[in-house]
Amino acid sequence: MSLNRAMVIGNLGGDPVLRNLPSGQPAVWFSIATDESFTDKQGEKQGRVEWHHIVAFGKLAETCNLYLKKGRQVYVEGRLRTREFEAKSNGGGKRQRTEIVASRVQFLGVPPKTTQKPVLLKSQWHQPKKRPSEPRAAAVRSTYTALRTTFRTGIESSNPLRSASESATPGRSRYAAAGRLSNYVAKRVEFPPCR
């Protein structure tokens, strides 16, 4: 029987680095600092910081990249893995690194302040409102004004709505003409629908 399990609580030393593996799977790397205090031989308290390299894959990697920032406190649980890599500095050569392959990451504490804007889902994007078409009242008003002008100036003599008695009494004919004009507009004019 064997057990390979690691649990650490610490603070991120830098922002996570997200990359895609050749298979297309996302992977994220970040480091966590843990500290411990002890008393030396002289009786003085000393502190020591240990750095732990963390790697996560798949959806966990995308979540860590989205919500983790430098200074954030996290709890990481996973298994230890030692891998070899080619060093690019200090003369090159093969190096070994022990890291924790995370299976669970829990965000602790308050996230550090950042100037980065929050990421919005596509459904949360602000959709500008479409400008409404001309209101129905304005359309009615302009149509009524045009008919009224035409009725008064152009075709009073040939208009079938005007009677002979109104020609003799122009003062009273205004009210009767206005009533017939509204009936005429209501029957003959098609107004645009409300939108």
| Cα angle: 52, vertex 55, 57; to 5 degrees | 160
Phi, psi of 29 (to 5 degrees): -125, 140
Beta partners for residue 139, in sequence order: none
Tell me the C-alpha distance between 99 and 122, whole Å. 36
**Confidence (pLDDT) at 102:** 94
Domain 6-38+46-109: CATH class, spelled out: mainly beta
Arithmetic mean of pLDDT, 93-117: 80
Residue 12 pLDDT > 90:
yes
Ordered by start, the domain boundaries in the chain are: 6-38+46-109, 136-188
**pTM for the full model?**
0.53
How far apart CA 32 and CA 8 sit, in angstroms, is 8
Each residue of 28-64: pLDDT tens digit?
999 999 998 888 888 889 889 999 999 999 999 999 9
Q: Which of 141, 159, 138 is nearest to 150 (CA)?
A: 159
